[in-house]
Amino acid sequence: MPRLRTYLAFLLLLAAPALADKPRRPKPPLNAHQYDMQDSHEKEHVTIAAEPGDTPATRPDTRLDYFGHDMLPIRVIVTNDSDFALTLDDARIHLLTSDNTNLPAATDDDLQRRLFNLKSATGSKVPLPLPIPIPITHGKSNIDKKILADDADFGFKTTTVKPHTTVAGYLFYDIQGLDKPLDHATLELRKVRIAETNKALDSFEIPLHPAEATSK
């Protein structure tokens, strides 16, 4: 038996790299012009689109179930058809709901608190329908690593948008307690700047709607 246990432990050690979590790849973004929800600034030749992850088909294949814990993923796609580079370093990307709720994008700390804290499982504005999202309480350090890994795989790889290129990344918004948060909502992007001059472009305002409305 001791020899068998040693042998099994050796096999597990060999298998560990194969079982390690590998990077996940989001689907390549299309040109922002090809998305249903977009705002185009023709003078600057810049278009920004949004793709809310309110259905399984539009949600990223993340390691953790953020949507199940009321964190709505929205993919932001920036297409720069101009001859100058853009920077998103100072960009403010907020979700504005029909009742004038202004939601900034969640940070990794916000996601960690939502997935772990028991208090986050109860609604703050209107009663949530059952079942109430259950906070993840096991393997906290591993979950922290998964949040960082999801950010590395699905977030923006760069904040610079070179001329004639498209970049994209997922952001998450806390919709806990909000009834139909995408109905008549807007994704507002401010302080998208020209990299060379630091001049800010006019705000982008992308009208949003639930995915089901696309087929109507």
Model confidence at 133: pLDDT above 90:
no
Average pLDDT score, the chain? 84
End-to-end alpha-carbon separation of the chain, Å? 65
Whole-model pTM above 0.85?
no
Q: Tens of pLDDT along 181-200?
A: 999 999 999 999 999 999 99
* pLDDT score for 176: 94
Q: How far is CA 150 from CA 65, 94, 108, 154, 189, in A?
A: 11, 20, 10, 6, 23
Closest C-alpha among 91, 84, 55, 89 to residue 72: 55
Confidence of residue 153 (pLDDT cuts 50, 70, 90): very high
